[in-house]
Amino acid sequence: MIMSIRRRFIAAGAVFAVGITTVLGMFHAPQALAAPGANEIAVTFTVSGARGTDDTINPAMGAHLQLVGDGVAYTEPWAYCTVDANGCQFLIPLSSAANHKFSVAVAPDSANAWSIIPTDIPARVTISESPLGGTSYHAPIAVVLSVANPQMVSNCGETGLKMAFVVDLSGSMDGAGITSLKAAASAYVDALTGTDSSVALYTFSGNSPASGANSDARPLTSVQTQQGADQVKSWISLWTPDGGTNWDSGLRAAANSADTYDYVIFITDGEPNLVIQDGSPTPATTNDLLTVNDTASANALKAKGTRIIALGVALQFGADEQRFVEISGPVHGNSNPMMNDYFLTNWQAFSDVLLPMVHGSCQIVNVVYVDDDNDGAIVTPAEGTTTTLTGNPGEDVGFTEQMARDGVPDGYQFSSIDNVATFSSDPDVSQTITVHLTRVPDSPEVPVTDTGDQIVDTGGTTLPANMAWAWLAIIGCVLAGAAGLRLRNATR
């Protein structure tokens, strides 16, 4: 932290800050600010947004802020500002300037995109006398804005989920912590195995990657095959804890990747004590230093459309719950776990928190074609038909008659559908949609499937022999109450 005292000049037209100016990050140098007129003053706030690929913290460009005086928001036209490279500058008439404590709030029209993170030193300008017109003031600390956490997505169908672990491998994770972390992360990979998803790995301790052995960052790796999943789990098994705790570095590493993730699962057991300054780990001597830097790196991830799910597990050293709000969002304890921005738990319950995010190995729905003219014998559906559906738990899967007709093989005609499935948030629910067919008159007889074989679906589950030629429907990775359904032909 760098601290400097700025002298307060009385002359009109001077620029000054009240009290101590605290430098908590490397911000872009402001451009020329507008000079206030003779009948107004200028109050300027630096506004912290997302970190760039270097140490620089960019302004929260485009955020719309509203001036607040003594806790009451002004509604006059001059009381609104859109953040630019200079932050936010308000030109306040002298008639409204005297004896006020000025701060900012997020303007109502942008409340869903940004929120203000409180700091120990308030981003506030106090004017205790009648100021001279033409005087400029600057808040002593940046306004810290957090980008709204993107919504959870469900892409297990056509493109697959792209997710990354960002995990704390500091020394305090040794023992039960690292054992539980490895087990739960590996189980999570198992749950995704067989979908079109990919997993990346990032670690941090005093820096990222963590200083322990075998802690390198690992690129997005497909877990569609068992071989790919085993590779990811092999990397996880080698994690070794060592060193301090630098959330900033782990979040920054994921944000700086050329890859874009649907979501990041951030896991830690304690309060950060380091940030990155001038390219190197630096002790965090104040809470505000952590707030500015950790939030800026998290914002960089969110700005790429990545949802951050933060897990505080067996928190040590007086970790502050507000830290998790800063990097993810405010939602905690929602009855629908997929709506939460962060979780606080212990190692015993860690897997119970982590695994519902993927809801098992993608629930299977069997779409079975049967020949009603041959005692319900299962028949081979038409080849090459793939359908993707989405919906919320409790809603009908939406397997339509037209979709069923698209799968009718030569020699058969569509009759009816029964037992239509609904999306479920329970990974243990197994469902079957039955499509009834009849023979086309005078068509060559179509042989039924040899039911002596078994097949393995893309999630690695062996199905009963009598479903050997059933279509498989993968309800993919129920996240945020949404699900994806992929239908594909089974193969021997």
Give residue-wise pLDDT tens across range 425-454: 554 555 678 889 999 887 665 554 433 333
Predicted confidence (pLDDT) at residue 82 exceeds the cutoff of 90: yes
DSSP bridge partners of 24: none
Of residues 331 and 462, the one with the higher pLDDT is 331
Instruction: Give the contacts of 375 (CB within 8 A, at least 6 positions apart).
Output: none
How far is Cα 57 from Cα 293, in angstroms, rounded to an integer? 8
Q: Which of 81-95, 102-116, 209-223, 352-366 has the lowest mean pLDDT?
A: 352-366
Of residues 17 and 41, the one with the higher pLDDT is 41
Predicted confidence (pLDDT) at residue 461 exceeds the cutoff of 50: no
Question: What are 21's two structure tokens?
Answer: 């100016």
Q: Quick one: average pLDDT of 235-258?
A: 96
| Contact present, 163 and 197 (Cβ < 8 Å) | yes
Pick the closest to residue 61 from 31, 82, 42 (CA basis): 82
Q: Which of 192-196, 200-204, 399-403 has the lowest mean pLDDT?
A: 192-196
103-139 pLDDT tens trace: 999 999 876 789 999 999 999 999 988 899 999 999 9
What pLDDT is stored for residue 126 in this prediction?
94
How far is Cα 477 from Cα 390, in angstroms, rounded to an integer? 11
Of residues 391 and 139, the one with the higher pLDDT is 139
What pLDDT is stored for residue 125 in this prediction?
95
Instruction: Give the contacts of 486 (CB within 8 A, at least 6 positions apart).
Output: 156, 157, 158, 386, 387, 388, 473, 474, 476
Residues 162-357, CATH architecture: 3-Layer(aba) Sandwich (3.40)
DSSP bridge partners of 20: 5
What pLDDT is stored for residue 11 in this prediction?
32
Predicted confidence (pLDDT) at residue 173 exceeds the cutoff of 70: yes
Q: Give the whole-number percent of the chain exceeding pLDDT 70.
A: 74
Q: How many CA atoms lie within 13 A of 358 on its CB side?
A: 31
Task: Provide the pLDDT confidence category of residue 393 given band limits of 50, 70 and 90.
Answer: low
How far is Cα 149 from Cα 9, in angstroms, rounded to an integer? 42
Q: Quick one: average pLDDT of 344-372?
A: 73
Residue type, 63: A
State which H helix or E strand residue 218 sits in. strand 218-222
- The packing angle between helices 176-192 and 226-237, to 10°, is 170
How far is Cα 56 from Cα 322, in angstroms, rounded to an integer? 24
What are the domain boundaries of the chain? 2-145, 162-357, 364-488
How far is Cα 135 from Cα 38, in angstroms, rounded to an integer? 9
Q: Quick one: average pLDDT of 20-44?
A: 71
* CB count in 10 Å sphere of residue 244: 21
Predicted confidence (pLDDT) at residue 31 exceeds the cutoff of 90: no
Q: Quick one: average pLDDT of 132-158?
A: 85
CA 61 from centroid of its chain's CA atoms: 21
Q: Which of 107-111, 279-283, 309-313, 371-375 has the lowest mean pLDDT?
A: 107-111
Whole-Å CA distances, 430 to 124, 288, 451, 458, 472: 58, 50, 20, 15, 12
Q: Is the dihedral of CA 331, 335, 339, 345 positive or negative?
A: positive
Q: Quick one: average pLDDT of 181-205?
A: 90
Whole-Å CA distances, 202 to 5, 39, 206, 252, 268: 40, 54, 13, 10, 12
Q: Which of 34-38, 93-97, 176-180, 354-358 has the lowest mean pLDDT?
A: 354-358
What pLDDT is stored for residue 268 in this prediction?
95
- Label the pairing between strands 162-168 and 263-270: parallel
Computed over every residue of the chain, the mean pLDDT equals 79
What pLDDT is stored for residue 365 in this prediction?
62
Task: Provide the pLDDT confidence category of residue 318 given band limits of 50, 70 and 90.
Answer: low
What pLDDT is stored for residue 29 in this prediction?
53
| Contact present, 116 and 147 (Cβ < 8 Å) | no
Predicted confidence (pLDDT) at residue 280 exceeds the cutoff of 90: no
| Contact present, 244 and 205 (Cβ < 8 Å) | yes
How far is Cα 363 from Cα 477, in angstroms, rounded to an integer? 8
pTM of the predicted protein model: 0.73
Cis amide linkage into residue 209, ω under 30° from 0? yes
Chain position carrying tokens 């300008």: 125
What pLDDT is stored for residue 394 in this prediction?
65
Pick the closest to residue 287 from 139, 138, 118 (CA basis): 118
- The packing angle between helices 287-302 and 247-255, to 10°, is 20
Q: Quick one: average pLDDT of 144-148?
A: 96
Task: Provide the pLDDT confidence category of residue 410 given band limits of 50, 70 and 90.
Answer: confident
Q: Quick one: average pLDDT of 478-490?
A: 33
What pLDDT is stored for residue 368 in this prediction?
82
